[in-house]
Amino acid sequence: MSEIKSDPMKGQGTKVAAANEWPLWEVFVRSKSGLDHKHCGSLHAADPQMAIQLARDVYTRRQEGSSVWVVRSDQIVASDPADKDMYFDPMEDKVYRHPTFYKLPSEVDHM
Amino acid sequence: MTPSIKVEQAPSVQYMLRLADTTLILGQRLGEWCGHAPVLEEDIALSNIALDLIGQSRALLTRVGQLGGQGLHEDQLAFLREERDYRNATIVELPNGPGRPGDFAFTVLRNAMMATWLRLMWERLRESSDSELAAIAGKAVKEARYHQQHSCDWVVRLGDGTDESARRLRAALDTLWRYTAELFESDEVDAAAAANGLGPRWDALREPWLAEMQALFDEAKLPMPADSAFRSTGKRGVHSEHMGYILTDMQYLQRAYPGGAW
């Protein structure tokens, strides 16, 4: 936002372009053998129905998927890259949080 | 110079050829949008549909080649016939609209009409007495269901959208409607196919197709057009003036480089 304010002309151009563009959606695809949906890209679409169809058309053309999710990009709350050191660096020296120090019963999979 | 080929005139072969050519020519028309659709995502969607249709046609032409007894390959059948020997319904050879690549409303409305028709056709062909045709139909019906969903959604968006989109869609309907009658006319080819269980008479699809169009038009705020006395005759080999041009595009490579392959 600060970037747009610093250049009034650029800010206007961005606004006009955004008003004429369909909203952005993030696409998550679950592969045939996969257990979870993985983020694979984004696309523009006018509404949820169009978004799910275009996600199918754009991201599953080569048998990548057996299920697709789409979510409006502006609905995703993301961590601020500037907070990266505060958020994630303190975990560097806490190896004891990994479960590798415990003996697991052999029946337990997928840990 | 590669001479043109002639295809077996047996009714069962003609019946499949009509379907093969209808999917082939519609696929070719849709291919014209590749790189030109309004947005990138729809460009890929239209190309996917075009490739599905070409794939259906390839399978059908291969079967026609087997049944015709002349050992003809799908490529020979697709690219080396003369205009009068193509048996597609005329509606699919009409240009996408004025100019290139054409009018998007016209394109999606024709897609909705044809996808609905093809879905109804493939559903019935799954029971065909020809096991190969039944297998092709089993695969194609899934594709057609998606084509129908995608194109009908667009018809509703445009019909119930802006004044401009509604105007274009109505103009497309005015142009297309009179060509739909050919999709529901039956002749000796259909009678033979129905008699030996190969597939339905084309007129058997009329009632269910009209019911689905009525529901679509209601949602898209389109008026149901009146029937026209005009009858197109592409499936008998008598085409519109547009057919020659599309064949020129399609056949150039095989005529210039006979037998050329990837």
Q: B180: which DSSP letter?
A: G
Q: Report the pLDDT value the prediction gives residue A2, as an integer from 0 to 100.
A: 37
Tokens of B203: 């007129």
CA B138 – CA B141 distance, rounded (Å): 6
In chain A, how long is the greatest CA-to-CA distance? Answer: 64
Residue with tokens 């049944």: B67
Instruction: Quick: pLDDT tens for B205-239.
Output: 999 999 999 999 999 999 999 999 999 999 999 99
Q: Report the pLDDT value the prediction gives residue A104, as an integer from 0 to 100.
A: 77
Please give the model's pTM, rounded to 2 decimal places.
Answer: 0.88
CA A6 – CA A10 distance, rounded (Å): 9
Q: Report chain B residues whose CB lies below 8 A from the CB of A54.
A: 41-42, 44-45
Q: If you average pLDDT over residues B72-88, what whole number do you get? A: 95
Among A83-97, B128-142, B229-243, the range scoring the smallest mean pLDDT is A83-97
Q: If you average pLDDT over residues B103-126, what whole number do you get? A: 98
Q: Report the pLDDT value the prediction gives residue B242, as an integer from 0 to 100.
A: 97
Q: Is B153 on the interface with A (CB under 8 A)?
A: yes
A54–chain B nearest CA distance, Å: 6
Q: Report the pLDDT value the prediction gives residue A10, as an integer from 0 to 100.
A: 44
**Predicted complex: ipTM over 0.90:** no
Contact A61 B44 (CB under 8 A): yes
Q: Report the pLDDT value the prediction gives residue A111, as an integer from 0 to 100.
A: 59
Q: If you average pLDDT over residues B100-116, what whole number do you get? A: 96
Q: What average pLDDT does the structure give for chain B? A: 95
pLDDT at B55 over 50: yes
Contact B64, B13 (CB under 8 A): yes
Q: pLDDT over 70 for what percent of chain A?
A: 81
Q: Report the pLDDT value the prediction gives residue A96, as an integer from 0 to 100.
A: 83
Strand A67-72 vs strand A24-30: parallel, antiparallel, or unpaired?
antiparallel
CA distances from A95 to A85, A98, B146, B172 (A): 18, 6, 50, 67
Expressed in percent and rounded to 5, the helix, strand and coil fractions of chain B are: 70, 0, 30
**List of residues 6+ apart from B95 with CB closer than 8 A:** B29, B102, B242
pLDDT at A9 over 60: no
Angle, vertex CA B180, rays to CA B14 and CA B141, nearest 5: 65
Among B7-16, B87-96, B237-246, the range scoring the smallest mean pLDDT is B7-16
User: What is the dihedral sign for C-alpha B231, B148, B29, B250?
Assistant: negative
Contact A22 B150 (CB under 8 A): no
pLDDT at B35 over 90: yes
- Residue A25 has phi, psi (to 5 degrees) of -130, 145
Enumerate residues 16 to 35 of chain A having a beta carbon within 8 A of any beta carbon in chain B: 22
pLDDT at A8 over 80: no
CA A36 – CA A50 distance, rounded (Å): 23
pLDDT at B202 over 70: yes
Helix A48-59 crosses helix B131-159 at what angle (to 10 degrees)?
A: 140
SS3 B238: strand
Q: Is A44 on the interface with B (CB under 8 A)?
A: yes
SS3 A26: strand
Contact A53 B150 (CB under 8 A): yes
Contact B41 A44 (CB under 8 A): yes
Residue B2, CA atoms < 13 Å, CB-side half-sphere: 20
Instruction: Quick: pLDDT tens for A32-76.
Output: 888 899 999 999 999 999 999 999 999 999 888 899 999 999 999
CA A88 – CA A85 distance, rounded (Å): 6
Q: How many CB pairs under 8 A join A and B?
A: 29
Chain-centroid distance of CA B94 in Å reads: 11
Q: If you average pLDDT over residues B180-191, what whole number do you get? A: 97
A53–chain B nearest CA distance, Å: 7
Q: Report the pLDDT value the prediction gives residue A17, as an integer from 0 to 100.
A: 53
In chain B, how long is the greatest CA-to-CA distance? Answer: 54
Q: Which of B109, B90, B70, B120 is nearest to B18 (CA)?
A: B90
Contact B213, B224 (CB under 8 A): yes
**List of residues 6+ apart from A21 with CB closer than 8 A:** A44
Q: If you average pLDDT over residues B173-198, what whole number do you get? A: 97
Instruction: Quick: pLDDT tens for B115-131.
Output: 999 999 999 999 999 99
End-to-end Cα, chain B, rounded Å: 20
